[in-house]
Structure 1
Amino acid sequence: MSWPDLIPSLSPWISEVRGRLTPNQPLSEVTWFRVGGPAQLFFSPADEDDLAFFLRNLPEDIRVTVIGLGSNLLVRDGGLDGVVIRLAGRAFGQIEVLDGHRLRVGTSLPDVKVATAAAEAGIDGLTFYRGIPGGIGGALYMNAGCYGTETRDRMVELRAVTRQGEIVTLTNADMGYLYRKSNGPRGAVFTSAVYQGFAGDKDDILNRMREITEKRESSQPTKAKTGGSTFKNPEGHSSWKLIDAAGCRGLRVGGAQMSELHANFLLNVEDATAHDIETLGETVRNRVRAHSGIELRWEIRRMGHFVPGHEVREFLDGDVFTGAV
């Protein structure tokens, strides 16, 4: 499947864009699941000003989707219409140590690099990022967290470019953080953030990070094609325990499988399609609901279009999904 080329319709201003523009970029190349159809127009801006110029001139009726490192993301096989923005490390991967045990970081950075940079500077409080696969942009968007700490506990403020092309600064309160969710300005692209830590001993922090790494690698399929934790933990429950109790550990649909090591991890084990992965996820939700009466909610972001005739229904018997959830 391919989309009509958008670039000719964006003349003459598009020639002033300094970043990389790629029509029909396969998104399977930039997601950890290694599945997904093409982006109609893929944009990697040269810097924050380039991003602002692009969004300011882009017609409002063209859809804009922002993706990070692609770790917590399932793009459907039909791909995404409109523009898909992905920030490159060279332009948005800076790390700056500030006074008062703070860090300013670019949003294209992997979470682990931020945890390591903080440790090297003797800044404690960001070790939890060692256990989260993905990038800072996604962490800011979904309030990523683990081991008792969440992004909202450490983020002070962030810079963003609005859909209208305005560069703004947002406070923690502006983001309206909830469990694995934010309520910041719709369509804003996060470009950098300031985190508040506290004084710590470098060697002690690095030792704790090594412990997190060992724990994660012993209990999670870290080297597989996966999207991380598939479902959010319902209040008072662990998703993996509910999945296990419903007999879904190791369950397989096509090339997709629920991990034998950690039952809440969904894997691409044999050239799976996005349809295989989402169908397996909905099969698990259906079985867990039938077994325990609890409805699991996706933690992985799903977006894009189905290939006609290969739609996936909620719990396999509900409404067809039509976009990101």
Structure 2
Amino acid sequence: MSRGEELIARLGDRLSGLRGRLTPDAEMEKITWFRAGGTVDALFQPADEEDLAAFLRAVPEEIPVTVVGIGSNLLVREGGLRGFVVRLSARGFGEAEAVSPTRIRAGAAAPDKRVAAVALEAGIGGFHFYHGIPGGIGGALRMNAGANGVETRERVVEVRALDRQGNLHVLSNADMGYSYRHSSVPAELIFTSALFEGYPEDREKIRAEMDAVQHHRETVQPIREKTGGSTFKNPDGTSAWKEIDKAGCRGLMIGGAQMSPMHCNFMINTGTASGYDLEHLGETVRARVLETSGIRLHWEIRRIGDFRPGREVQEFLGQLL
């Protein structure tokens, strides 16, 4: 019996009433956009918010529960993860709809582009930036995702979330504690949906803004590659890509991982990269930028899981600290 099967068997009847999909020994490389990573003991995809709450109440708190979104800015290490990974299903958490002339409610698994499309259809301005963000609403809420001069915090009214005990919380914009690419909400809270507000806008103007976003992405970003989007946050007063370029890391490769020649703050899997290759490349870039500019780049990509023994990667490669 595998470790995942043992975990599920040990919980037995606790999980019997769940309606979602439970998969032992799930391969995380099938989920992440990087197409790399280890396995998790068990993957749970809840049917809806009520099913997720039941799952959280059923799983003892000493068993780790890790939540992932659609896998766009996620790097899973080769050693995988212990316990459960929760991935919100598109069927239960992927809807987005206009609920008033200026408001949209979206599930945490709804792609950002879907929310932009709903806003266009409803004539609600202020959401065109989501058309260019390769992620889901849950991740956008967590990291205050932004593009083209607009951030998620400018649109959020309230957020629904469940805690580790399965209790529901409704958070205001102020409760989210937003700053640049960050929210201060406890990591244990799992976002399930959010209410957003924009403003009345002519559909043709919205469409033109979305077309401009798409054109920009297609001309400067490697959108057809296996990538996690922006690798590092922009430091104060400069851009991450400028510092990476200055450090001579445009096109730099380690194994099958490469800093894109098109946009050097995008890390890509050229086809054979492992989680180790990707993280080793990222830390190499951080070390070189620190040496060149004295700037400590901070990861925008979320890295989770255990290193495989003998394949550990230290921050900044353990140098220049």
Instruction: Return the TM-score normalized by structure 1.
Output: 0.96
For this pair of structures, how many residues does the alignment match? Answer: 319
Partner SS state of residue 229, structure 2:
strand
Q: Which amino acid aligns with 1:297?
A: H
**Structure-2 separation of matches of 1:5 and 1:24:** 10
Per-residue deviation, 1:270:
2.8
Which residue in the other structure is 1:300 paired with? 301
Change over 3 Å in CA distance of 1:2–1:311 after alignment to 2: farther
Q: Which amino acid aligns with 1:74?
A: L
Per-residue deviation, 1:127:
0.7
**Structure-2 separation of matches of 1:72 and 1:11:** 33
Which residue in the other structure is 1:54 paired with? 55
**Structure-2 separation of matches of 1:134 and 1:151:** 12
**Structure-1 separation of matches of 2:94 and 2:310:** 41
Deviates most, 304-313 or 9-18: 9-18
**Structure-2 separation of matches of 1:257 and 1:43:** 32
Which residue in the other structure is 1:36 paired with? 37
Q: Which amino acid aligns with 2:284?
A: T
**Structure-1 separation of matches of 2:91 and 2:18:** 17
**Structure-1 separation of matches of 2:5 and 2:41:** 7
Q: Which amino acid aligns with 1:298?
A: W
Query: Does the aligned pair in 2 maintain the 1:5–1:40 contact within 8 Å?
Result: no
Which residue in the other structure is 1:24 paired with? 25
Which residue in the other structure is 2:249 paired with? 248
| 1:117-266 alignment, distance < 5 Å | 117-266=118-267
Which residue in the other structure is 2:281 paired with? 280
Residue-by-residue CA offset, 1:165-219 (whole Å, 9 max, x unaligned): 0122111111111111111133111111000000000111012101110111100
Residue-by-residue CA offset, 1:93-120 (whole Å, 9 max, x unaligned): 1222122400011111110110011011
Q: Which amino acid aligns with 2:54?
A: F
Query: Does the aligned pair in 2 maintain the 1:74–1:274 contact within 8 Å?
Result: yes
**Structure-2 separation of matches of 1:197 and 1:270:** 40
Q: Which amino acid aligns with 2:57?
A: R
**Structure-2 separation of matches of 1:188 and 1:245:** 39
**Structure-2 separation of matches of 1:245 and 1:95:** 41
Residue-by-residue CA offset, 1:249-280 (whole Å, 9 max, x unaligned): 00000000000000100010031000000000
Per-residue deviation, 1:2:
6.2
Deviates most, 182-191 or 65-74: 182-191
Deviates most, 278-287 or 164-173: 164-173
Partner SS state of residue 171, structure 2:
strand
**Structure-2 separation of matches of 1:186 and 1:291:** 34
Q: Which amino acid aligns with 1:125?
A: G
**Structure-2 separation of matches of 1:94 and 1:225:** 26
Partner SS state of residue 5, structure 1:
helix
Residue 6 (str. 1) matches residue 7 (str. 2): yes
Per-residue deviation, 1:5:
3.0
Which residue in the other structure is 1:113 paired with? 114
Provide the alpha-carbon RMSD of the alignment: 1.4
Per-residue deviation, 1:58:
1.0
Query: Does the aligned pair in 1 maintain the 2:233–2:298 contact within 8 Å?
Result: yes
Structure 2's unaligned 5+ residue stretches are: none
Partner SS state of residue 16, structure 1:
coil
Q: Which amino acid aligns with 1:150?
A: E
**Structure-2 separation of matches of 1:217 and 1:287:** 28
Per-residue deviation, 1:4:
6.0
**Structure-1 separation of matches of 2:255 and 2:5:** 31
Q: Which amino acid aligns with 2:56?
A: L
Per-residue deviation, 1:131:
1.2
**Structure-2 separation of matches of 1:270 and 1:170:** 41
Per-residue deviation, 1:12:
1.4
Structure 1's unaligned 5+ residue stretches are: 320-325
Change over 3 Å in CA distance of 1:54–1:318 after alignment to 2: farther
